[in-house]
Amino acid sequence: MSTLFTIYIGLKDADTNEQKFRIERYQSVLRDVCRSYGVAFSVQVVGGGYFYKDGDYTDENTLQLQMTDISEETVTEIAKDLCAFFNQESVIVVSQPCTVKFVSEKL
């Protein structure tokens, strides 16, 4: 049994409550971070909403990063890096057990 980790990273800056860059720039940073840790990943852009610690609510673009075959410690380090690089109040890390199966076929 493997673990599927999903990190949700909002794209609005914690200080300005505005998205500073185009989504492609955030995706590029995310790819560089994952590459530097040597991990395979999938990423999607999804819509999300978030309540700040002060109770204010915001709608925002969110990157949904998924990884398997990786340690929880490495996931936490990646989450910390992305939280800092994207200037977020926090990011969400979700883990769930899963079965990973590689399927290949040649014609």
pLDDT tens, residue by residue, 65-96: 999 999 999 999 999 999 999 999 999 999 99
Top CATH class, 2-96:
alpha beta
pTM of the predicted model over 0.85 = yes
* pLDDT over 90 (residue 59): yes
Helix H or strand E segment including 76: helix 72-85
Helix H or strand E segment including 81: helix 72-85
Give the count of beta carbons closer than 10 Å to the beta carbon of residue 77: 13
- 54 vs 76, residue with greater confidence: 76
Work out the average pLDDT over 53-76: 94
- Torsion angle of C-alpha atoms 53, 57, 60, 65, degrees rounded to 10: 40
Domain boundaries defined on the chain: 2-96
